[in-house]
Amino acid sequence: MQSKPLATIVAPSLLSCDFGNLGAEAKRVLDAGADWLHVDVMDGHFVDNLTLGPVVFQGLRRAVGQQVFLDCHFMTTAPVFWIEQFARVNGDNQGPAPNLGCTFHYEVFGEDGLRMALALCERVRALRARPAVALRPSTPVEAVLPLVDAAAVDMVLIMTVEPGHGGQSFMPECLPKVRFLRERYPLLDIQADGGIGLTTADAAAQAGCNVLVSGSAVFGAGPDAGRVIAGLREALHRAHDHSV
Ligand SMILES: O=C(CO)[C@@H](O)[C@H](O)COP(=O)(O)O
């Protein structure tokens, strides 16, 4: 017996927006129906790209206000350090639930990975944020099961492209990981990120994702962003409305 329905969430990735107008772009997709904003934090080491640090993130938070959930995906070799910095500038959240998501990559931790990941999740909760773990396409899904079983994370992000850049092609070969997780965890938030648009959303949603990140499909649609967001949400509803 399920105790709550699975949330269906569409999270535009700001990586594909016009960074010169970051606050306005963020507000534009929120007005167009986005549930969360996906913030790609890249350090030039874990991936060969560099995006924003705490200063720009603070500006984004001020632009959108404290109510909006900022789903930060830390593609960084030092997530412990950067998560502290981002949480520090996130501002005073008076709301009943966290307004900050902190997704780190399991791959950054070496031999003692599980212990370090558990400690980071505990710290994220102490910061009143929501911990999640991400996997590159080549990382086996089994790596994160102890974190889910321990309820250390609220979400698993299955990358459906190699992390680093927007506008890449969706990798359907990553979906067996989603199916495996959904069969095991009916109520876990499972996020897909990379190459998600109106032609690929059904595959990700049917495999079991209930959170879709989409960058170029949403921002590339210009004034039609709302139509794309609505289409992504419909794919989620088609897959999940009758499954819980
Ligand atoms: O994290 C990443 C890439 O590393 C993603 O968030 C992409 O930015 C999504 O962009 P599209 O693939 O949807 O264009």
Mind listing the domains of the chain with CATH numbers?
9-240 (3.20.20.70)
pLDDT digits (tens, 9 = 90+) for 153-210: 999 999 999 999 999 999 999 999 999 999 999 999 999 999 999 999 999 999 999 9
pLDDT reported for residue 110: 77
ipTM of the complex: 0.98
Given a contact cutoff of 8 angstroms between Cβ atoms, the answer to whether 152 and 122 are in contact is yes
Q: pLDDT tens-digit profile of 75-133? A: 999 999 999 999 999 998 888 999 999 999 999 997 788 999 999 999 999 999 999 99
CA of 196 to the centre of ligand 1 (A): 8
For residues 67 and 30, the answer to whether their CB atoms sit within 8 Å is no
Q: Is 193 a catalytic residue?
A: yes
Q: Are strands 189-193 and 155-159 parallel, antiparallel or unpaired?
A: parallel
Does residue 35 carry a catalytic annotation? no
CB of 163 closer than 6 angstroms to any ligand 1 atom: yes
State how far the Cα of 224 lies from the Cα of 163, in Å rounded to an integer: 26
Q: Would you state the pLDDT for residue 3?
A: 57
The whole-number pLDDT of residue 244 equals: 43
Give the pLDDT confidence of 37-74 residue by residue, as tens digits: 999 999 999 999 999 999 999 999 999 999 999 999 99
pTM: 0.96
Is any atom of ligand 1 closer than 6 Å to the C-beta of 168? yes
94's CB contacts (< 8 A; 6+ apart) are 66
What 3-state class would DSSP assign to 143?
Answer: helix
* Residues linked to residue 134 through DSSP beta bridges, in sequence order: 105, 157
The pLDDT value given to residue 168: 98
* Helix then strand then coil, % of the chain, to nearest 5: 45, 20, 35
pLDDT digits (tens, 9 = 90+) for 133-167: 999 999 999 999 999 999 999 999 999 999 999 99
Distance 166 CA to ligand 1 centre (A): 4
- Between the two ends of the chain, the Cα-to-Cα distance in Å is 9
